[in-house]
Homo-oligomer: A and B are copies of this chain.
Amino acid sequence: MQKRKICVVVTARPSYSRIKTALAAIDHHPDLELQLVIAGSALLDRYGNAVDFIEKDGFKISSKVFMVLEGENPTTMAKTTGLGLMELTNVFYNLKPDAVVTIADRFETIATSIAASYQNIPLVHIQGGEVTGNIDEKVRHANTKLADLHLVSSDDARERVIKLGEDPEKVINTGCPSIDLAKEIRASDLYFNPIEKYGGVGPEIDFQNGYIVVMQHPVTTEYHESKKQILATLEAVDELEIPTFWFWPNVDAGSDGTSNGIRSYREKMKPQHIHFFKNMEPRDFLILLKHSKTLIGNSSVGIRECAYLGIPVVNIGNRQNRRLRAQNVIDVKAKKPEIKFAIEQSIERKNITSSNIYGDGEAGKKIADILAKTELSFSKTITY
Contacts and interface: CB of A to CB of B under 8 A. Distances in A.
B380 A137 contact: yes
Which of A79, A84, A115, A145 has most B Cβ within 10 Å?
Answer: A79
Interface residues of A, number: 66
Given A146-B142, A165-B141, A221 B120 contact: yes
Contacts of A141: 145, 165, 382
B69 A66 contact: yes
A345 interface: no
Interface stretch (A21-29, A41-49, A237-245): A41-49
A44 B380 CA distance: 30
Contact of A89 (B82, B144, B322): B82
Interface string A242-264: 00000000000000100000000
Nearest to A139: B146
Interface in A77-128: 77-79, 81-87, 89-90, 93-94, 107, 110-111, 114-115, 117-120
A62 to B, nearest CB: 9
Given A43-B71, A67-B69, A89 B79 contact: yes
Contacts of A120: 74, 135, 221
- CB-CB nearest 7 A-B residue pairs: A82-B85, A82-B86, A78-B118, A141-B145, A78-B89, A68-B70, A142-B142
A309 B281 CA distance: 54
Contact of A94 (B64, B84, B146, B221): B64
Nearest to A113: B142
B118 A382 contact: no
A69 B90 CA distance: 13
A81 B382 contact: no
B90 A66 contact: yes
A86 B79 contact: yes
Interface in A310-334: 321-322
A75 interface: yes
A119 B384 CA distance: 31
Given A70-B69, A71-B43, A141-B382, A86 B89 contact: no
A133 interface: yes
A219 to B, nearest CB: 11
A378 interface: yes
A76 interface: yes
Contacts of A164: 164-165
Given A79-B89, A83-B83, A137-B382, 13 more contacts: A66-B70, A66-B76, A66-B79, A66-B93, A82-B86, A82-B115, A120-B221, A132-B381, A133-B379, A160-B382, A163-B384, A164-B164, A321-B381
A347 interface: no
A137 B81 CA distance: 22
A384 B70 contact: no
A357 interface: no
A131 interface: yes
B64 A93 contact: yes
A209 B249 CA distance: 44
B382 A131 contact: yes
A115 B79 CA distance: 8
A78 B115 contact: yes
21 contacts: A66-B71, A66-B75, A66-B79, A66-B93, A67-B69, A68-B69, A69-B69, A74-B120, A75-B93, A77-B118, A78-B89, A78-B115, A82-B87, A83-B83, A83-B86, A117-B138, A120-B135, A120-B221, A141-B165, A160-B165, A221-B378
Contacts of A384: 160, 163
